Amino acid sequence: MTMNWGTKIALIYGGFVAFIIGMVVLCIRQNDIHLVSKEYYKEEIAYQDQIDKLTNAQQLHGQMGFQYIGEKQVVEFFFPKSLANATGEILFFRPSDARKDVKISVDMDATGRQVVPVSSLDKGLWKVKVRWNANNKDYFSEQVLVIN
């Protein structure tokens, strides 16, 4: 049985329409969409404030940073000693699933160090966002962490 070209075009068009309808239904039924942040637009508006906090952190004498120690499954944070009285929070941000984010208070010792256990965190890519305040000045640092 041979089809004429009009029938072939109709079948191709019908297949395309069915594909598009299927994709629309699939997108509508998807319920596990997670925004990068629940307050994304609010944070976007306050971005200049964020830039100022980053600049403050970069101008410190002795940078804030961390070291992942895989054998012990801990992350050791180190802050400049001059900021020993700092308060703030450490956010372990999971880009692939915001439900797995973890917040921890900044609680450094006298030497400016803080050890955080990460054995409960999933293996893979995390962004570590540290916000802290010391001497009435706000600071922010963001770095990538790969847990293995």
Residue-level pLDDT at 16:
97
Note the pLDDT tens digit of each residue in 6-63.
899 999 999 999 999 999 998 888 776 665 666 777 777 777 888 888 888 888 777 7
Q: Report the distance separating Cα 54 and Cα 34, nearest Å.
A: 26
Residue-level pLDDT at 115:
93
Nearest of 44, 37, 69 to residue 148 by alpha carbon = 69
Where are the domains positioned within the chain? Answer: 1-31, 46-147
Task: Supply φ then ψ for residue 54, to 5 degrees.
Answer: -65, -45
Instruction: Burial-class residue 117 by CB neighbours within 10 Å (0-12, 13-18, 19+).
Output: exposed
The mean predicted confidence, pLDDT, of the chain is 86
Q: Report the distance separating Cα 142 and Cα 136, nearest Å.
A: 20
What CATH homologous superfamily does 46-147 map to? Immunoglobulins (2.60.40.10)
